Copies of this chain bind each other. A is one copy, B any other.
Amino acid sequence: MKLKVRFETPIGVPVEAELEPEEDLYQVLRERGQAGWTAVRLRYQGIALPLACEECFDWRLLGASVVERDGFVEAVVIGGAEYKRRDLAERRGLPRVIKYSRGARDGDPAPLVEGSGQDRYVTLVRFVGAGPCPPELCRRDRSDRPGG
């Protein structure tokens, strides 16, 4: 099976990459993501990953650059849009969720927009629920950290 990924490059030119058999999908996403190439598509309510992923997630997989403060990834930036960290505590039976989202813009496709009235937003990723984080989604070590 040959895999292909369609990237948006920093100069706005989409490029499709066809992987060689010996190339690893996640490694390619990491390397290209570091150069600002992104292949992620936004989803309603964001990409759902286990809460455990929040501490180790490698944002380069999404072509995102990160803004860190006090050891947290405070925000991530893709294609000039900034998604901010929001930590929603457990309440009324709903589990804790950590989301990275941004305010909605007039032109955002309706299927992506959550909320209503003044509080309309678009979510990139939500970390929620039990289970371990798949190792291929994690940074490998401290020297592998974004921004470090």
Contacts and interface: CB of A to CB of B under 8 A. Distances in A.
Given A20-B1, A106-B110, A112-B107, A79 B14 contact: no
Given A108-B111, A110-B107, A14 B3 contact: no
A89 interface: no
Chain A interface residue bracket vs B: 35 or more
A68 to B, nearest CB: 18
Interface of A: 1-6, 8, 10-20, 23, 25, 28-29, 39-45, 47-49, 61-62, 79-81, 105-113, 125, 137
B18 A4 contact: yes
Nearest to A110: B107
A-B complex: 10 closest residue pairs judged by Cβ atoms? A107-B111, A107-B110, A4-B16, A12-B47, A2-B18, A48-B80, A13-B39, A12-B40, A1-B17, A3-B15
